[in-house]
Structure 1
């Protein structure tokens, strides 16, 4: 990662978010930039639904909506423990849910995931990237954590975005 370009891109995305009044467009901007900067193939943003005790995607590149019980999968592990995960060989991780790959036809090789918090420091979801050709590292994780803050803010403001567009 070229640090100067990476953080300049982050500033540019921030400016775009301020000008954008569409919830989905803001999430897509973030996802596209994360994929571009890290070299990942896919990005998923999971939020927690207390009523069903599930994590479900409000954005998942290359696939429709995914529902995962909050106690299952790597995403569930991150949610339960509040620990970030870098897993560069998912077949060695007992939490990996291969059923999602079977359902989607996509082959997951590696994952990086971190918790998403709201402004009250409450855990509200998980940000996940898939399949970086040389694997994920700590620099990717630091960058992902910065973006998780953006995403937490956008999710928290979603009712205002959605009210304005309805």
Structure 2
């Protein structure tokens, strides 16, 4: 699969370059044919190199991109987010849509930029509990009590891709 994709990328890249060269040489057809022959001969030589030399630069490049963008790599981290606002003085609990395999990292984003933000009082694989910031007798208006939470962690095995 990697070899096929590498050779395909070589030929499609060459075709793009030749198409770009056509813009400048469309009046001189003989010169364009000469450019095409040279470009595709070089591409064929590189393709033979890819086929017969194991661990070459071109194949390693494509292989690393496949590994980077694979679904298994993407499913190693689960990110969930939502918003909340306090009503009252008690703690606020949020249940995650999908459970995590272990306790996730939870971040709080203060939407209004006010200097006080809640603290995380409890984190489990299934929920997070936020505690309102209290600074004594002064009350923080409800309009400043809007927050976004982001939880990032390893997904529970039931939700991972098992290929």
Query: TM-score band, normalised by the shorter chain?
Result: under 0.3
Higher normalized contact order (CA 8 Å, seq sep 6+, divided by chain length): 2
What TM-score results when the alignment is normalised by the length of structure 1?
0.22
Of Structure 1 and Structure 2, which has the larger fraction of its residues in helix?
Answer: 1
Structure number, greater radius of gyration: 2
What TM-score results when the alignment is normalised by the length of structure 2?
0.23
